[in-house]
């Protein structure tokens, strides 16, 4: 594995683990972080969160990761699976 790739993977895993812990602690999902698959759907099926949870999730993403989604267009595209959240948080780091 190249250094670039291994750097990328370890930074991604760090964000992924952070999101998983946030889901357990702040969203009270009663699930161990390692049991949360990266591509698991957040709402309806998968983790089974609902519209009430969605509001709190947006607040938590802002508070914990500085990811501000409230009011931005296409929020629904970023809140689909754990991986789409991780993507959005990692894009923050890419911005100047």
Partner 1 sequence: MSESPHITGWGVASALGVGRDRFCAALLRGESGIATVRRFDTSPFTTHVGAMVAGYESDDRDPALLSHEFGMLALCDALAHARLELEALRSMRAALTLGASLFGDHTTERLAHNLAKELRISGPAITVSTACTSSTQAIGFGADLIREGFADVVLAGGIDVLTPALFAGFHALGVLSKRPCTPFGRQMGTTLGEGAGFVVIERGGLRDAVTHARLRGYGLSGDAYHETSPEPRGRGVAAAIRGALDDAGASEAEIGYFNAHGTGTVANDTAEWCAVQSVFGSDLGGSLPLSSSKGHLGHAQSAAGVLEVISTLECMRAGLAPTTAGFEEARPGGPPRPVGSKQPKPLVYELALSSNSAFGGSNCALVFGKAKPATASNGDRRRVFVSGAAALCAGVSCIEELASIYAAESPPSEGDLQVDLAAELPRVDLRGIDRASELLTTVVSRALADAGVQLKGKTRARTGLIAGVLRASPDSLYRFHTSLERRGLAKPDTTAFAQVLPSAAQGACAKALNIRGPQSTVTIGEGSGLMAAVMSAWMLAHRRDSDHMIAAAVDVRSERSPEGALADAACALVLCTEPTAVEVAGIGLAGPEQLDEAIAEARRRCGSSEPVELFVERRNPFGGMPATSSSFALAHALGALRRGKAKSAIVASTGTTASVAMILTSTEVAHDD
Partner 2 sequence: MSLEDEYRSVRHGAALSRMDHVGIVRVSGGDATEAVDAICSGDLWVRDGRMLQTLILGEQGQPVADVYVCPDDDACILMFEGITTEALSACLAQYADPELAIELEDLRPAYELISVNGPYAWEALSKWLTPDVIGLPYLSFYHFDRGTCFRGGKTGEYGYDLAIRSDQVGRAWEALLEHVSALGGGEVSLETLDLCALENGFFSVRHASAEGLTPLELQLQWRVSARKSFPGATAIEERRAKGMARRLTHFVAREGVKTGDPIRDADGPVGQVTAAAFSPGIGGVAGMALLDLSVAHPGIDAFFVPTPNADRPIRTVSSPLLFNRSLLIDPHQHTYATRDQTSDPPLWLGSLP
**Residues found near partner 2 in the complex (CB under 8 A):** 1-2, 5, 8-9, 12-13, 16, 31-32, 35-40, 44-48, 74, 76-77, 80-81, 83-84, 86-87, 90
Residue 48's region, left for phi above 0, alpha for psi from -120 to 50, else beta, is left
| Whole-number Cα distances in Å, 14 to 9, 21, 46, 48, 73 | 9, 11, 22, 24, 27
* Smallest distance from partner 2 to CB 62, Å: 20
CB nearer partner 1, residue 10 or residue 51: 51
Q: Which residues bind partner 1 (CB under 8 A)?
A: 27-30, 48, 50-53, 55-56, 59, 63
């Amino acid at each position: 594995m190249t250094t670039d790739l291994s750097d990328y993977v370890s930074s991604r895993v760090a964000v992924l683990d952070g999101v998983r812990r946030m889901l357990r602690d702040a969203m009270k999902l009663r699930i161990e972080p390692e049991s949360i698959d990266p591509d698991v759907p957040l709402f309806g099926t998968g983790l089974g969160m609902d519209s009430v949870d969605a509001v709190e999730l947006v607040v938590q993403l802002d508070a914990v990761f500085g990811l501000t989604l409230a009011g931005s267009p296409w929020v629904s595209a970023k809140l689909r699976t754990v991986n789409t959240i991780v993507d959005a948080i990692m894009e923050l780091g890419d911005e100047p």
